[in-house]
Structure 1
């Protein structure tokens, strides 16, 4: 009846029979009082009719003899229920309990509430396990990713290479990977971090290009920004994050030619390049976590985190991403804007 709980254990004590009996009598004291009152009434009525003591005692004994089996049966029934609850509480990994058949409407309601609460707890536990597993996988990939620029800088120190542009390019990669890690943490608390405002697309595109200017200049890539006079209602920093990742990927896989950011339609933004392109069989899986495709695997330039993060951010902003590409011709990533949140500039 009375079960003690302690930290680290579901149930700290075993169900003591003596303690159970005391608790049972306390719980049933009203029934006991009523029964004793009936016995006294029986004595009083027989006394009024001047009946001898023997019939009074005999009748009282029959009443007690009739009630005792039911009392023992009820005590045993409740004791078994308490033992069953104790066994459930001692499980290290609780599962949906196999409770007894409910005998009353109150027990039915209690069992329903217990099962619903346990199911909700199990669902929440499963959800957090998936979140933690996803986080572990991401940071495992991220750790391997950030090693590349660190090893490059270490190699430049060993060879005495002090070319400023090379050092800036590697530091930019470290800074970008650190920013990706912070953004990933922010995505877990995404709704409290959103700040919707009217954003000028041209300004955001220019900032994304400016952040990667060192790499773009080193490779002598041309930048083409056109038809970006519109505004969109969105979160500026998250949209900038998507464009930065797309520009970074375009610069990474383009050795010569042009990177363009433009609007082919009022509700679309495209980032295109004239790089090595992507094989058709790789296109459907590019947004998967850790998938690098043939080019990323062969050239050792990617661990598959950037586009995966872009996909998560696009869901947050209500955007959709699509990719079209041809090998040795180039790649175009299209950001489809939500119609209700778009406002064309005058």
Structure 2
């Protein structure tokens, strides 16, 4: 705080003491009136003013000094994110300082959490940017090493880049995700077939066959975001499945199941698969996982009032379950 602001603060503090000055002047005037009324010597009131005036102004000066010190400490604590440690004078100041410190503590905690969240988001976006570069780098290498690049290879890498970009944009929208929900009745089979078509290039490239076993059932949901969840589940199943196998997508009772015959998930990793940034043993082995796909899918399923669950056995395969509320299903 500069000298100009300090001087202004002191002047304002002095001007704020006008009620006390008026009270003192009024009291002296009242005593002067009593002296006249009861024929008391005026010197008595003169002596009273003489002996009380200096202590009175010393008291005012101390109050101004204390308030100036309190305000200076308040500004410093607010700007530097610190607690007020000044000793309070009276119950009002004590209550004010305690309230300020509580707010300051909440502010510090909020800023710390925001900073941590920003750091995580930055790390995730950097990680995803590398994932987007992967298919682009693959296309570049194919173009450099081959005069003619197979259409299926180009389609796969482009689809993979689009998928990663879609993941980034969806992750950024999670904060206000509920504003983009439109619930209607949709055919579950039509949703699945649309997602299968979207992922067709990956099925063809790995020679994996989709087995669809879905009866004529309708669900009350948001088709766009159910498709996003299902796409992520299928991408995971395709990524960790062996070639020349099949992925089964079937409907049982009130749930959609995606079953693969892939490498499976370690039992110790299963409880953490929905945590942000967790890649597990499979992700570390392949060194090509962000650990965010299932996290985003889980957050969306929560917003849709769905339950996402995973069952897996290492070396046997994985079953991912998307469970719908019974009231949102009709046959």
Task: Pick the TM interval, shorter chain.
Answer: 0.7 to 0.9
5+ residue gaps, structure 2, are none
Query: Is structure 2 residue 238 aligned with structure 1 residue 247?
Result: no
Kindly tell me the number of residue pairs found equivalent between the two proteins. Answer: 328
Q: Could you state the TM-score of these two structures normalised by the residue count of structure 2?
A: 0.87
Q: How does 1:16-31 map to 2 (within 5 A)?
A: 16=6, 22-31=11-20
> How far is the alpha carbon of 1:152 from its aligned partner?
0.8
Which residue of structure 1 lines up, in the alignment, with residue 73 of structure 2? Answer: 87
Which residue of structure 1 lines up, in the alignment, with residue 220 of structure 2? Answer: 233
Q: How does 1:45-124 map to 2 (within 5 A)?
A: 45-48=34-37, 55-66=41-52, 68-91=54-77, 92-101=79-88, 103-105=90-92, 107=93, 110-111=96-97, 113-124=99-110
> How far is the alpha carbon of 1:104 from its aligned partner?
4.3
Q: 1:330 to 1:20 in 2, by over 3 A?
A: closer
**Paired residues of 1:24 and 1:75 also in contact (CA < 8 A):** no
Query: Is structure 2 residue 249 aligned with structure 1 residue 261?
Result: yes
Which residue of structure 2 lines up, in the alignment, with residue 3 of structure 1? Answer: none
Query: Is structure 2 residue 168 aligned with structure 1 residue 175?
Result: no
Residue 149 of structure 1 aligns to a residue in which SS?
Answer: helix
Q: 2-side partners of 1:292 and 1:298: how far apart?
A: 9
Which residue of structure 1 lines up, in the alignment, with residue 276 of structure 2? Answer: 289
**Paired residues of 1:42 and 1:56 also in contact (CA < 8 A):** no
Query: Is structure 2 residue 27 aligned with structure 1 residue 38?
Result: yes
- Let me know the Cα RMSD of the aligned residues: 2.7
Q: 1-side partners of 2:234 and 2:71: how far apart?
A: 60
Q: 1:317 to 1:156 in 2, by over 3 A?
A: same
**Paired residues of 1:230 and 1:343 also in contact (CA < 8 A):** no
> How far is the alpha carbon of 1:155 from its aligned partner?
0.9
| Residue range with higher mean Cα deviation, 58-67 or 244-253 | 58-67
Which residue of structure 2 lines up, in the alignment, with residue 343 of structure 1? Answer: 328
**Paired residues of 1:138 and 1:289 also in contact (CA < 8 A):** no
> How far is the alpha carbon of 1:296 from its aligned partner?
2.8
| Residue range with higher mean Cα deviation, 271-280 or 240-249 | 271-280
**Paired residues of 2:73 and 2:86 also in contact (CA < 8 A):** no
Q: 2-side partners of 1:99 and 1:314: how far apart?
A: 50
5+ residue gaps, structure 1, are 1-10
Residue 243 of structure 1 aligns to a residue in which SS?
Answer: helix
Deviations 1:207-228 (A, max 9, x none): 1111010111232222122235
